[in-house]
Amino acid sequence: MKAKELKALSELDLSKKTQELRKELVKLRAQSRTGTTLKNPLQIRMLKRTLARILTINNQRRNTKQ
């Protein structure tokens, strides 16, 4: 997802999205560690980047509230 799309989401939606992405990331990492070939190896990188974007948006929102 792009940053503009993520900024439009509420804090509750972002926290749900964070949980989903973390679960998916754990699943994909386990698959890659066991030797299973992934359909899209770049998916791990994309999940990590999206997760970082969400965390950055959360931190920015917290800092502006103070």
Q: Which CATH architecture has domain 3-65?
A: Orthogonal Bundle (1.10)
The helix or strand, by DSSP H or E, that contains position 28, with its residue range, turns out to be: helix 11-33
- The answer, yes or no, to whether residue 63 has pLDDT greater than 90, is yes
- The answer, yes or no, to whether residue 50 has pLDDT greater than 80, is yes
Indicate the pLDDT class of residue 62, thresholds 50, 70 and 90: very high
pLDDT tens for 16-48 read 999 999 999 999 999 999 999 889 999 999 999
Cβ–Cβ under 8 Å, residues 18 and 62: no
Give the pTM. Answer: 0.88
pLDDT of residue 53: 96
> Domain limits of the chain?
3-65
